[in-house]
Amino acid sequence: MTHILVTGGAGFIGSHVTAALLAADHDVSVLDCAHPAAHAGPVEVPDGVVLHRADVRDRDAVRHALRGVDAVVHQAALVGLGAGPDDLPEYVGCNDLGTAVLLATMAEAGVRRLVLASSMVVYGEGAYACDRHGPVRPAPRAVAELAAGRFEPPCPDCAEPLTGGLVTEDAPVDPRSVYAATKVAQEHLAAVWARECDGAVAALRYHNVYGPGMPRDTPYSGVAAIFRSALESRRAPLVYEDGGQRRDFVHVRDVAAANVLALHAGPGFRAYNVASGHPTTVGGMAAVLADAFGGPPPVVTGQFRLGDVRHVVASPARAAAELGFRAAVLPASGLREFACVPLRG
C-alpha cells in the first residue's frame, strides 16, 4: 500500500481516479480548489480520504499535502477550449504555473513519482498520409476553407486529399489552442523535472473522456456532456462541421484504471495514449446518444470553432505493451449507458 495524492481529485476524472486508487488498496488524499468551472456544488471525497481544500499554486498548501505521500496523480487543470481570450491567464496559471509549483514542491519533499493528466490535444491534427508525399503534417485549417464547408485538411505540399491514420506518442506535438499549449508545457516541465530529479513521469494523453459525473453544459465541458445536456433539455445536439470528425471516446472508468497502472511506469518521462481503440465520428457519437436517450436526433450545423482539429485517432499499443492497459468499455455500450446517467451540477 502506498499513499497517493490526487490533485483535482474531487473533479470529474479525479473522483473516478480516487475511487480506483482506493479500490486498489492505496491510501489516498486529495488536493482540490473547487474551481467553479469543474464544481457547481459542494466538493466531496469518499470517507477516509483527507481533503486539502487549496489551489495547486499555493506552495505552502501543496507542501502540507505532500507530507507522507509516495506519488502524485496530477489531474488538476482547466480543460476544453474555454470561453475566449479572457481565459488565457487563468488557463496558463492553473495548468502551467500550478504544475510548476507542484513539481518544485515534490522535489523539495523527495516525492519522485508523478502520473500526469495530459491530453490528445498536444498532437494538433492526428496522423495523415498523402498518396504522393507519404506522412505529412497538415497546417491549421484556414477560416475561409472552414466557412466554405471544406473541413478536411489537404496535403500541405500538393493540396490533394489525405488519408487518416493512428497517431502514436512519437508524433510531434503541435498545439492548436491555448488549452493544448498548456498541456504541452505541462509535459515539458514534467520531463525536465524527471531528468533533474531522477523522477518517473507517466504522461497519460487522454482522448475524449466521457462517463458519469461529467459537468453540465459549460465552455469547459466535453462534447459528450454538451450533447447529453442538450438531450436532457429536449434540444437536438448541435454537431459542428459535417459531423465527420473522427475521435476516440474513452470511458472514465478506463481512464481511472490507466492511472492506477501508470503508477508502476518506469523511470524518466514517458507519454501514453489512453484511448478505447475503437474510434467513431462526432456525428456518430451524437446519434448513439440521441437514440439511447429517445431523441431528438442531432442536427449537423456546418458551424466550426477555431482551434478544433479534424481527426485525432490514437494508437493505444504503447499503453497496452508497457502498462498493461486495455480499455474495457467499448463506446458502443458506454455511450448508451452515458445517455441515461445524470450529469454533475
Q: Catalytic positions, please?
A: 179
Report yes or no: 81 and 17 within 8 Å, Cβ to Cβ. no
Report yes or no: 158 and 132 within 8 Å, Cβ to Cβ. yes
Closest by CA position to 79, among listed 289, 242, 255, 198: 255
Report yes or no: 118 and 181 within 8 Å, Cβ to Cβ. no
Query: What residue has cell string 482551434?
Result: 307
Q: Are strands 299-300 and 71-74 parallel, antiparallel or unpaired?
A: unpaired
User: Other CB atoms closer than 10 Å to residue 36's CB: what's the count?
Assistant: 10
3-class DSSP state for residue 253?
A: helix
Cα(203)–Cα(198) distance, integer angstroms: 16
The CA-CA-CA angle for residues 312, 316, 320, to 5°, reads 170
Report yes or no: 110 and 198 within 8 Å, Cβ to Cβ. no
* Lateral strand order in the sheet of 163-165: 134-136, 127-130, 163-165
Residue type at position 298: P
